[in-house]
Structure 1
Amino acid sequence: MSSITAKGKEKENPIASLLAGAVAGGTEAFVTFPLESLKTQLQFGALEGGKQLTPYQALKGTIQQRGFLGLYAGVTPVIIGNAVKAGVRFTTYDQFKSLLKDDQGKLTAPRSMLAGLGAGMSEAIIAVTPSETIKTKMIEDSKLAQPKFKGTSHAVQTIIKEEGWLGIYRGVGPVMLRQGANSAVRFSSYSTLKQLAQGSVVPGTQMPGWMTFGIGATAGVITVYCTMPFDVIKTRMQSLRAKTEYKNSLHCAYRVVTEEGFFKLWKGTVPRLGRLIMSGGIIFTVYEKTYPALSSIV
């Protein structure tokens, strides 16, 4: 991220941050969505009549039932939401970071984590909750013998008709926790790892793409294991049957732990790990390459 290498109190270009983040987010969403689809299916867990699927079984079943395109059920709201989310994330992170830098223009790991937390909370409210709710319901609906959603716009209309406008904000609590934790862990770990790696880069030259990808991927691994329980609860609370199954997020967490076991809070880790390794590498690399070009023209 160019903002991490900015010197002193130099401020970032918010428009360039927004646009570069949106490009990075949309690209990452499309490339990694099949893994997101498999992760969501695995997290339904006991909601599928107690049948526990492996990632391979979920993949095979989806392709047999719906074809390869079945892995892209619900992709449209995620691409749109991810583009907006990443734009908001990078813009707010850069602004929070500018405010939190010390007089020498440096950002300590705790301050970087705080800036990431603020960015994550912002993106959860503005973009993530609606797109995640629609995506989750569309993926679950696509597994039914007779799906009721005809497409993204029809799904949105149906959800609002049946649950009201608040229906697309179901699970906002765990989403805010997940996104806040995601961004706090991801940005702080990425920032720390990048500062360590810069010692091997020739002064005055840009860090090579493969190194940025590797650092972003490593940050993704750290993020997955630290935040997975929030993701599982978020998925359950946004399912089609959440209103009848759970009273609130705490009740959902309690039922998962007592009925399925503590480690089910990490259900879907494998596909999410695969996605966030790729996600971290793609999104930081695309952002790093896109931001300088955009900042020179906007």
Structure 2
Amino acid sequence: MSHEANTPAIVSLSAGGIAGAIEAFATYPFEFAKTRVQLRQQKGVPTPKNPFKVVAGVYRSEGLPALYKGCSTLVIGSVGKDGIRFLSFDTIKNQFKDPETGTLSPLRNLAAGMMSGVVASVTAVTPTERVKTALIDDARNEKRYRNMTHCIKTILREDGFLGLYRGFAGTTLKQAGATAFRMGTYNILKDYEKRRDIKQTTATNFANGSVAGIVTTLATQPFDTIKTRCQSARGASTVEAFRSIVADYGVTGFWKGTTMRLGRTVFSGGILFTTYEWAAAILNPLVLPKEERLRG
């Protein structure tokens, strides 16, 4: 997300969407495990902290398809989320730049990230997260949703359009914080490396993205946990979700699923940024000559 300022809007949108889809599919089992752990468990039953154990347990008892329950929803949502997030960040970032120097201060960088996170939450993230979480929760209990389409229709019939926006507050807070921390951390690392003439390669992009993912996870996990409770199959308000987490686990419950999410974000951050740079490198030559001709 620290790509060049002259990247065309269509490239930002397309490359971001491609990167989001690949990242979501590649790391989905970790997302599945994290969501399972955050949903209400039986009293007295210890919650596994090792994501690989959760994944292996679900695979043994429910099979491989269960690990990808709700995956199509997340992949579709990630195409929209990351496409919009890259595009909106570029647009907002350009508005926030110092008119004289053309640079973006760390504070304005964070503000641009937060605003683009809100845009992504409203337009794509909250509805897709709601459906994905409901599918995962339903798979372990009632099993009344046949597929993604049936789940959406059921939610709309029972709760109306706003039913797709359950957990909106938690999701938006998470997205605003996550986008700000992820972009901010990534850009700080990249600026640090540029000042020391460290070459920007796939390896450095992946490493920077992974570190950004870790920082983002630790900082925004409470919002993610609240969001998951809100978006369970039965649904809950933000206040109800907050109270149920405290009642079940105490304050530490807000970091439930952190290990699971770290298992994903260590890879997802690296995959997202490196895939974006790869996709943008392919798409830019196809788009820029046309735009330059139009300007001429």
User: Which among 72, 76, 83 is matched to residue 76 of structure 1?
Assistant: 72
Matched with 1:118 is 115
Do structure 1's residue 134 and structure 2's residue 131 form an aligned pair?
Answer: yes
How far residue 56 of structure 1 moved from its aligned partner, in angstroms, is: 5.0
Is the partner of 1:187 in helix, strand or coil?
helix
Q: Deviations over 1:176-219 (max 9, x none)?
A: 100000001110111101100123446xxx61100000000000
User: Which among 66, 81, 91 is matched to residue 85 of structure 1?
Assistant: 81
Do structure 1's residue 29 and structure 2's residue 24 form an aligned pair?
Answer: yes
Task: Judge conservation of contact 1:2–1:288 (CA < 8 Å) in 2.
Answer: no
Q: Deviations over 1:132-155 (max 9, x none)?
A: 0000010011112x5111111111
Count of residues in Structure 1 that have an aligned counterpart in Structure 2: 284
Do structure 1's residue 207 and structure 2's residue 200 form an aligned pair?
Answer: yes
Do structure 1's residue 254 and structure 2's residue 243 form an aligned pair?
Answer: yes
Task: Judge conservation of contact 1:12–1:95 (CA < 8 Å) in 2.
Answer: no
User: Which among 274, 277, 295 is matched to residue 266 of structure 2?
Assistant: 277
Matched with 2:194 is 198
**TM-score of the superposed pair, with normalisation by structure 2:** 0.91
Which residue identity lines up with residue 17 of structure 2 in the other structure?
A
Return closer, same or farther for 1:28/1:164 CA change in 2, 3 Å cut-off: same
Matched with 1:222 is 215
Return closer, same or farther for 1:290/1:2 CA change in 2, 3 Å cut-off: farther
How far residue 50 of structure 1 moved from its aligned partner, in angstroms, is: 5.7
Q: Which runs of 5+ in 2 are unaligned?
A: 288-296
RMSD: 1.7
Do structure 1's residue 156 and structure 2's residue 152 form an aligned pair?
Answer: yes
Do structure 1's residue 234 and structure 2's residue 227 form an aligned pair?
Answer: yes
Which residue identity lines up with residue 232 of structure 1 in the other structure?
T
Task: Judge conservation of contact 2:114–2:176 (CA < 8 Å) in 1.
Answer: yes
Task: Judge conservation of contact 1:17–1:291 (CA < 8 Å) in 2.
Answer: yes
**Greater Cα offset, 156-165 or 113-122:** 156-165
Task: Judge conservation of contact 1:42–1:52 (CA < 8 Å) in 2.
Answer: no
How far residue 288 of structure 1 moved from its aligned partner, in angstroms, is: 1.3
Matched with 1:295 is 284
Q: Deviations over 1:73-104 (max 9, x none)?
A: 00011000001100000000011111111122
Do structure 1's residue 104 and structure 2's residue 101 form an aligned pair?
Answer: yes
Identity %: 37
Which residue identity lines up with residue 179 of structure 1 in the other structure?
Q
Task: Judge conservation of contact 1:232–1:267 (CA < 8 Å) in 2.
Answer: yes
